[in-house]
């Protein structure tokens, strides 16, 4: 069974920092591309950052220079370090995998349940 479980969300003041974690199971993590997306009320889901199996990173324009995506293949976990947070970053953050499942020869898309990030004074 494939599982993507986010953690680390919460309430933070403007200018503060949070680190989100996404723990995975059921996929060959080292061969899977990973990413973070977010969705705010009334807005479409948007790409925050992604990282390929080879370690290449990509960021949405609104978070460049503030957020950093990384992965730890030994822990089968992807992280999102968020600095200089602003109220506009308030959203539900979702973990994404283009994952290769054990015992399968094809990749599939998987999503976590999301974790709430609220930036407010």
pLDDT of 69: 98
Residue 29 pLDDT class (50, 70, 90 cuts): very high
Q: What is the mean pLDDT of residues 106-112?
A: 97
Task: Give 3-state DSSP helix, strand, coil % of the chain, rounded to 5.
Answer: 5, 55, 40
pLDDT tens per residue across span 65-89: 999 999 999 999 999 999 999 999 9
Mark 84-109 as b/e (b = at least 16 C-beta within 10 Å): ebeeebbbbbbbbbbbbbeeeeebee
Name the percent of the chain lying above pLDDT 90. 99
Cβ count within 10 A of residue 45: 14
pLDDT tens per residue across span 84-106: 999 999 999 999 999 999 999 99
């Amino acid at each position: 069974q494939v599982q993507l479980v986010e953690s680390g969300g919460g309430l933070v003041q403007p200018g503060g920092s949070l680190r989100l974690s996404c723990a995975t199971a059921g996929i060959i993590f080292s061969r899977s591309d990973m990413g973070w997306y977010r969705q705010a009320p009334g807005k479409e889901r948007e790409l925050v950052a992604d990282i390929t199996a080879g370690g290449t990173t990509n960021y949405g324009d609104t978070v460049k220079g503030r957020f950093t995506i990384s992965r730890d293949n030994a822990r089968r976990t992807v992280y999102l370090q968020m600095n200089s947070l602003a109220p506009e970053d308030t959203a539900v953050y979702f973990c994404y995998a283009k994952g290769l499942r054990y015992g399968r020869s094809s990749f599939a898309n998987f999503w976590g349940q999301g974790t709430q990030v609220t930036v407010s004074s």
